[in-house]
Structure 1
Amino acid sequence: WELEQSIPSYLASVAVSTYATVEWEYEGMEATIPVQAGVKAIDSNKLKDSFIHLNDAMEAFENGYGPYRWDRVGYVAVPFSGGAMEHACNIAYPNFAIDGSLNWESLMAHELAHSWWGNLVTCSEASEMWLNEGWASFSEFLFTEHVYGTAAYREAIDATHLEVIRYGYAYDGNVFEPLAGVTHDNTYGYTTYTRGALTIHNLRGYMGDDLFFECISSFLDTYAFQPVTSEQFRDHLSSCSGTDMTPFFDGWIFNAGTPAFEFQSNGLSDVTNVRNVCIQQKLNAAPAYFGNVPLEISFVNDRGHTTHVERVVADGPLSNFSLLLPEDVESAYTYMIIDRENKIADAVTADERSLTATGNYTLDYALMDIEVNALNSDTDWLRIEHYWVGADGKVVPESGLHLHNQRYWRVMGGFNGEQTTATIRFNGTLNTSGGYLDNAFINNSDDSLVLLYRADPQDDWMLYTHYELDPWGNKTDKRGEFEMSQLLPGEYAFGIYDHSIPDAVPDLNDCIYTNIEQGYLLENWSVFPNPGNDALFVEGPATSAATLLRIIDITGAILLQQDWLGKTRIDISELPEGNYIVCLSDGKEQLLAAQKVLIIR
């Protein structure tokens, strides 16, 4: 045997044993490729059964990544206690996985995928290991999709998504790691393999299938038999796709953490069939906002049918869109859903169910159990989203009450909420069998917890009235559940009474401000000149309700604040050029009026 291709030295191997050779041929994209597997003679038939989908894996990877570049596909059975090793054309494969079943076929596919990722192109150094192992792990999903279909791919993605967002950092020693630049201790850790695979799924969602597979194949062709870096990969994808991939790599590859996207405002405009939408981005363990994130907004009726889809690009903390809807859509939908197909696995996991019978339903991705006692129709629809980011605060804070800073829920659907009960559990333990949910949040006795509700993101939170708290007999172990006698559409969040923490400040809906096109709410008030230069004048009728005047930027940050006296001059000479909003509020910081202004010089 002679290996014609150049490889890194760690991929060279020789395996010696009393092997029997199981062999066949695969008709590849460019050549007929021999397949040879060395195995104990007694296990020959088991290997044939366990490797029945090897040709399917080859087809999936050649279709996705380009032609197989090696002179044979080779596996050798070895007495490993776990894992395998992707030696070029001579994959060391554990005896225990050759058992005649398909239980380990994802391992077979993973190691074969290294013939493209790791062997054909190789990470330039250990800290770039995601280019080897993340891609081989993603290839397991691709293999599943090719053999078992799109639904199986989605199921595998959803399960991995939940595990990554809930336990990923715990598996890597309670450290949030970036993919590129991963530390030595976690070179072969959970981030590299599993978060790497999920991030590549997100890359697919960013680019779309056509560009994704075209540019991946051309990258492998351009850098065949060479070491590669994440920067080279980024630059090639940018050049190939015609889209700057820097924001994707900055957010998902070079930094840790995950974004979540939620609707904060979705009001109608003065123009027929135009829907003004404001999407807020929140962060889970990420150092900065993600940029240029493509999102699908699905318009869905209360039976769960998508009537229309709009595609937008979210950027930064707040993104505003004016969506022109087809005439037949405005009256044909009840809900808007961001990324219903989970093409971008962010910090939101969700369950959707078509309810065809009464009974109990376990919603693993929503972290909620429900019991349906009556239906509205033959088939009711339900979707529950679990957000792995902090809930908004109260607009009018209550002394001592704090909302959860790591998670909350959104419930929607045409189901019978008054005849549906639900159970939400809290768990502040630090174990990967149900914990890692509420440890940092619960710093008081469990009976200090409450359940809060709001029907719409523009409403303030209120105490939910249809629940009982069950601390499971122990008020100090951070474990228990909320038992809800009704599950109404809207949003839910845990709150806790803890006077040892400074009281929360008012949490105003920034999207109300940034979505302003003209004067808002209060009549007979004006802001001029607009555009402004060094000063703005605000005039309007003096009212006891209006007390506070503010200028905020497009992120919602308060830049200037002063009392409102009915006619006020605002010095804007120190503000840079750009768009701002002048806001007038009452003593409880309730928005009374707002006006967009432009500063130019």
Structure 2
Amino acid sequence: MNQHLKQSLLGMLIGGIAGLGMSTPLMAQSDKATQEDPALKIYRASATKVNDLVHTKLDVRFDYAKRHLYGKAWITLKPHFYATDSLTLDAKGMDINEVAIVKAGKNSPLKYSYDSLQLHIKLDNKYQPSASYIIYISYTAKPDELKVKGSAAISDAKGLYFINPDGKDPNKPTQIWTQGETEAASAWFPTIDKTNQKCTEEISMTVEKKYVTLSNGKLVSQKNNADGTRTDTWKMDLPHSPYLFMMAVGDYAIVKDTWRGKEVNYYVEKPFEKYAKNIFGNTPEMLTFYSKILGYDYPWVKYSQITGRDYVSGAMENTTATLHGEFMQKTDRELLDNNNYNESVIAHELFHHWFGDLATAESWSNLTVNESFADYSEYLWLEHKYGKDAADEHSLEAAQSYMSMTQYAGDKDLVRFHYRDKEDMFDQVTYQKGGRILNMLRNAVGDSAFFKSLNVYLKANAFKATEAHQLRLAFEEVTGRDMNWFFNQWYFGKGFPELDISYKYNDAAKTVTVILQQIQKDPKVWQLPMAIDIYAGGKTDRHNITMYNRVDFFTFAYTTKPDLVNVDADKVILAKTDDHRSFSTYAFQYAHAPNYMDRHIAIDEAAEAQATNPEAVKLLQLALKDKYHGLRSYTISKLNLANAAVKAATLPALVELAKQDPHSLVRAAALQQLVELKDPQYVSLFEAATKDKSYGVAAAGLEGLSIQDLGKAYAIAKQLEGDTKGKLVGAIAGVYAKKGNASDVSFVATKFDETSGQDKLNAAFDYLGFLSKINNTAAVIKGVDQVKAMTAQFNNSQVSTYISNWMQEISKNKAQEATAVTGANRDELTKQADYMHKTSEEIKKTIKE
């Protein structure tokens, strides 16, 4: 399951609202409250295995009007070790019509009890572990009537989803898709819904002929029925866990690809058929790359990817059939501004087919062996395809996301056996921190040992349930080293070190002493292997050291005084660092140290000093020409053009970047800086930018033009309405808000209606921003109602909290505006403020603790 949209929702909210200049409420609970939480006293062990799943055969059909699934299940099981005469299956919110044992092709009824969550079956005999048996169940799944708890990661957990089943929404296709993780597969078929169960599978789906289907494994038969339907049978011959079972039904285009003779297909809505290869086309190369570095070829029979409307959780690695949210469907114009985001998601879900689907976490406590690897696979792909700078940029963003989370929700162990709810495991610790930990492990043992260890781990645990200790043992087997120190501090402990770095030069002795201090409040002392590079006399010497103590001193001799002593030269340690050295060393670092982080840190230092230090301005000038587009964009964002010296030194380069940088994100960032100058000399530049193929560049150009010539900007905005997505929607809404024509409100409202899935959250921020700027009571009420309906759809306390808080802030601002005017305007603004306040309170009441 993908971290970008799944568990990072809180981070997205914090970042999005902070970017709007809003304060964010503290989400963390006090340590005392945490310690007193009774749920945290429960030890979350792996599920006890009484019976083992062997094979699951399903025959299903769908009732769109009732949103029901009518199913027949034949489940083959055997006792795990001890003989047993009973069986407990998970089956959530179903009508159970028949339970029987199948012998010699005949069904014999069995006694059972059902409590709406579990089916307790009395078997006809006491079965020994050497004997298997088949249970038949006829049932009706009713997912829309099931009351289940979602999470920040998974906004709903009913397992089976009917999308626009009655076809009433003209902007939305009719689809069916499933979401099994964490334990929602048992909402659409009876099973033992635990990660440490694995079985083979066969699913027959009866659907209208106009629809295509997708499931795990191979499509082995299609049969046309007399009633105008068709039955598709999908068969999975290799065992996998129930949460990875999937079905999807809809009116899709299937774009076919291949890898080593295996099907690689992309299922997209038909308007996106021509873009499917642009979106997914690197998948075969990913299959080759991951197979090679792991020394373990992709093990499954095919690999398909499909999109789903209103998908609840980013993306999901269902074995051989990954399901993506509709955010994955992008035109070629949208992909220009995507900065490899879609590819990171694709890489993440594909890598799960080794880490998660092949070797599966034995419990949610050990989710790291699934999700930390999938998170790190994004780094590996970006490094391979786009270079180390792109990978390191991605890694920095991940580290920042994790550290930001700790401010609001505290910190937790990577492997944790105490949690309130299994959904809580899907967080920035499991994903972003876990990915950074793997990067440190790779650095500590070296590339060859790292990938060989992964190979040993996969071969030992293929088609099994596994945990972090087995990963440790694989690394110990390969390296010959005890790895407990690493796993104890990073996997079975929480937090991260805070380092204070200082230097003492002795010119007489020609030595430099590096003083490393761990200053974190936690008494824990971290063992930190790292490289220290010393640049002197035109060459670089590397010293590999390990910090063992709260304070350590490392002394190095030199013949020529160093230009730079670069601590943690590979920039892999997950830590907060305060490095005490002169600016000249950062200038040297930018020019000579090789890594993205070396340059990023130097740019930060220059940005802080740009007002007073001419050398800092020179560094920023250099950085505007950095070889990596991400650092060019970052440098642009750090420029203080209010400072005359900075402006004079960087403005010519900035204008050139806005005009002709090859990367759209750089052009957009440069334009945005020029917009802030409010200088009429750039009108023609802004107008030209509105014709750019990139939505982001066009949006920046339109915003700049609206400041100088609202009439022209308005006319161009009307022309751009026909092909408008992403940031351009918000820019057009901003122009319309300034213009104030009532007839334009419908554009913004319609665009919000057309957006769905996770993208709707960002659209809600744009929409509320628009509503905050207009004085049109009918439009405000309609828009507030639309956003309120969105919060109900998300059914997520964090979403509701932030939307409610922002509505309150807008309400206060409108009430303040009302005091400055008289007459009808005052009355209308007051009505808007009151409605915002009332709706905010209504949303707040729905928030679940």
TM-score tier, shorter chain, comes to: 0.5 to 0.7
Deviation of 1:331 (Å): 0.9
Q: Which moved more, 1:84-93 or 1:236-245?
A: 236-245
Q: What is the TM-score normalised by the length of structure 1? A: 0.55
Q: Is the 8 A contact 2:535 2:563 kept in 1?
A: yes
Q: Which residue of 2 aligns with 1:395?
A: none
5 Å-filtered alignment, 1:201-600, equals 201-263=439-501, 266=504, 277-283=514-520, 286-291=522-527, 293-300=528-535, 307-323=540-556, 325=557, 329-348=558-577, 369-371=608-610, 375=614
Residue 118 of structure 1: SS of its match in structure 2?
A: coil
5 Å-filtered alignment, 1:75-86, equals 75-79=305-309, 80=311, 82-86=313-317
Q: Is the 8 A contact 2:315 2:324 kept in 1?
A: yes
Asked whether 1:161 is paired with 2:396, we answer no
Q: Which residue of 2 aligns with 1:57?
A: 286
Change (3 A) 1:21 1:209: same
Asked whether 1:72 is paired with 2:72, we answer no
Distance 1:268 1:54 in 2: 55
Q: Which residue of 1 aligns with 2:437?
A: 199
Q: 1:7 aligns with which of 232, 237, 240?
A: 240
Distance 1:364 1:321 in 2: 27
Q: Is the 8 A contact 1:299 1:333 kept in 2?
A: yes
Residue 38 of structure 1: SS of its match in structure 2?
A: strand
Could you tell me the percent identity over the aligned residues? 22
Write the deviation string for residues 201-231 of structure 1: whole angstroms up to 9, x where unpaired: 1112222212111111221122111111111
Gaps of 5+ in 1: 383-418, 421-601
Deviation of 1:82 (Å): 4.6
Q: Greater strand share, 1 or 2?
A: 1
Distance 2:312 2:350 in 1: 19
Distance 1:363 1:265 in 2: 18
Q: Which residue of 1 aligns with 2:323?
A: 92
Distance 1:41 1:279 in 2: 58
Residue 210 of structure 1: SS of its match in structure 2?
A: helix
Deviation of 1:373 (Å): 6.0
Q: 1:140 aligns with which of 378, 381, 398?
A: 378
Q: Which residue of 2 aligns with 1:426?
A: none
Distance 1:307 1:119 in 2: 44
Q: Which residue of 2 aligns with 1:105?
A: 343
Write the deviation string for residues 52-95 of structure 1: whole angstroms up to 9, x where unpaired: 22223223322332321111111122111550111100111222
Residue 262 of structure 2: SS of its match in structure 1?
A: strand
Deviation of 1:268 (Å): 5.1
Counterpart code for 1:22: V
Write the deviation string for residues 310-341 of structure 1: whole angstroms up to 9, x where unpaired: 11111122334454x5xxx4314144221133
Q: Which moved more, 1:33-42 or 1:68-77?
A: 33-42
Q: Is the 8 A contact 2:472 2:483 kept in 1?
A: yes
Q: What is the TM-score normalised by the length of structure 2? A: 0.40
Distance 2:617 2:346 in 1: 44
Counterpart code for 2:376: F
Distance 2:462 2:550 in 1: 39
Q: Which residue of 2 aligns with 1:181?
A: 416
Q: Which residue of 1 aligns with 2:267?
A: 38
Change (3 A) 1:229 1:184: farther
Distance 1:316 1:239 in 2: 28
Distance 1:56 1:315 in 2: 42
Q: Is the 8 A contact 2:413 2:491 kept in 1?
A: yes
Deviation of 1:96 (Å): 2.8
Q: Is the 8 A contact 1:248 1:290 kept in 2?
A: no
Distance 1:141 1:106 in 2: 8
Residue 247 of structure 2: SS of its match in structure 1?
A: coil
Asked whether 1:24 is paired with 2:263, we answer no
Write the deviation string for residues 15-48 of structure 1: whole angstroms up to 9, x where unpaired: 2223332111123xxxx43202223333222221
Q: Which residue of 1 aligns with 2:711?
A: none
Q: Which moved more, 1:309-318 or 1:342-351?
A: 342-351
Q: Greater helix share, 1 or 2?
A: 2
Distance 1:87 1:70 in 2: 12
Residue 497 of structure 2: SS of its match in structure 1?
A: strand
Q: 1:128 aligns with which of 355, 358, 366?
A: 366
Q: Which residue of 2 aligns with 1:432?
A: none
Q: Which residue of 2 aligns with 1:585?
A: none
Deviation of 1:188 (Å): 1.0
Residue 214 of structure 1: SS of its match in structure 2?
A: helix
Distance 2:397 2:425 in 1: 23
Deviation of 1:109 (Å): 1.4
Counterpart code for 1:192: T
Q: Is the 8 A contact 2:366 2:468 kept in 1?
A: yes
Q: Is the 8 A contact 1:363 1:369 kept in 2?
A: no
Change (3 A) 1:261 1:236: same
Write the deviation string for residues 548-577 of structure 1: whole angstroms up to 9, x where unpaired: xxxxxxxxxxxxxxxxxxxxxxxxxxxxxx
Counterpart code for 1:180: V
Change (3 A) 1:259 1:362: closer
Q: Is the 8 A contact 1:234 1:246 kept in 2?
A: yes
Distance 1:223 1:251 in 2: 24
Change (3 A) 1:59 1:375: farther
Gaps of 5+ in 2: 1-217, 219-234, 592-599, 622-644, 647-849
Deviation of 1:269 (Å): 11
Counterpart code for 1:100: T
Deviation of 1:297 (Å): 0.9
Q: Is the 8 A contact 1:127 1:184 kept in 2?
A: no
Distance 1:225 1:364 in 2: 47
Residue 369 of structure 1: SS of its match in structure 2?
A: helix
Distance 1:373 1:365 in 2: 14
Q: Is the 8 A contact 1:46 1:100 kept in 2?
A: yes
Write the deviation string for residues 375-395 of structure 1: whole angstroms up to 9, x where unpaired: 56996699xxxxxxxxxxxxx
Counterpart code for 1:333: P
Q: Is the 8 A contact 2:401 2:428 kept in 1?
A: no
Q: Is the 8 A contact 1:205 1:344 kept in 2?
A: no
Write the deviation string for residues 495-514 of structure 1: whole angstroms up to 9, x where unpaired: xxxxxxxxxxxxxxxxxxxx
Deviation of 1:344 (Å): 1.9
Counterpart code for 1:133: E
Counterpart code for 2:251: T
Residue 202 of structure 1: SS of its match in structure 2?
A: helix
Change (3 A) 1:192 1:223: same
Residue 239 of structure 2: SS of its match in structure 1?
A: coil
Change (3 A) 1:7 1:275: same
Write the deviation string for residues 458-479 of structure 1: whole angstroms up to 9, x where unpaired: xxxxxxxxxxxxxxxxxxxxxx
Change (3 A) 1:320 1:112: same
Change (3 A) 1:241 1:100: farther
Distance 2:616 2:605 in 1: 23
Distance 2:372 2:248 in 1: 27
Residue 237 of structure 2: SS of its match in structure 1?
A: coil
Distance 2:578 2:265 in 1: 42
Deviation of 1:296 (Å): 0.8
Distance 1:243 1:55 in 2: 36
Write the deviation string for residues 522-545 of structure 1: whole angstroms up to 9, x where unpaired: xxxxxxxxxxxxxxxxxxxxxxxx
Distance 1:57 1:308 in 2: 36
Q: Which residue of 2 aligns with 1:587?
A: none
Counterpart code for 2:525: Y
Distance 1:97 1:210 in 2: 34
Greater relative contact order structure (CA < 8 Å, 6+ sep)? 2
Change (3 A) 1:367 1:286: farther
Q: Is the 8 A contact 1:34 1:72 kept in 2?
A: yes
Residue 290 of structure 1: SS of its match in structure 2?
A: coil
